[in-house]
Amino acid sequence: MRNYKLKKLLPMFLLEIKKTGNYKKIYNERIICYFRTKIETYRRKPKAIICYNCSGFYHAAKNCYLKPKCIKCGGEHATRDCIIKEKLPEPKCVNCGESGHIASWKGCKAFPVIPKRSIRSYADAAAGKMEKN
């Protein structure tokens, strides 16, 4: 894995393991190739990512092949190429079309809401009980 701000390699690795067979035994490993290791599950951030190219959700600009959208004027050009250089008093959202906020505002009606996952105990899951929030 790489730190993109500092452009340096991190002392961690991301492994994708199929959940078949004895895949949980990987958590018992403490030394791999003479290196001390600590194996943890991947903790995903509970928020939607926003593309800097089109201001859409759930993908990044590196993988975006859509037409760019300017978050200042809503035109089909990149924000850095916009002729408007100052901050707008009433910006227009490119996702919902309303004025008064930009696409990354969390109060926008087009902003995706990711529900929190409920954590159940193994005994409750085996008994078929659902946790009430």
The pLDDT value recorded for residue 22 is: 87
Q: Is the pLDDT of residue 5 over 60?
A: yes
Q: Looking at the domain assignment, is residue 36 inside a domain?
A: no
Q: How many domains does the chain have?
A: 1
Domain that holds residue 53: 46-112
Q: Looking at the domain assignment, is residue 77 inside a domain?
A: yes
Q: Looking at the domain assignment, is residue 69 inside a domain?
A: yes
The string of pLDDT tens digits covering residues 32-41 is 888 888 888 8
What percent of the chain is predicted at pLDDT more than 90?
Answer: 0
Q: Is the pLDDT of residue 133 over 50?
A: no
The Cα-based distances of 14 to 9, 38, 105, 121 in angstroms read 12, 12, 31, 27
Distance CA 31, CA 120 (A): 31
Q: Looking at the domain assignment, is residue 35 inside a domain?
A: no
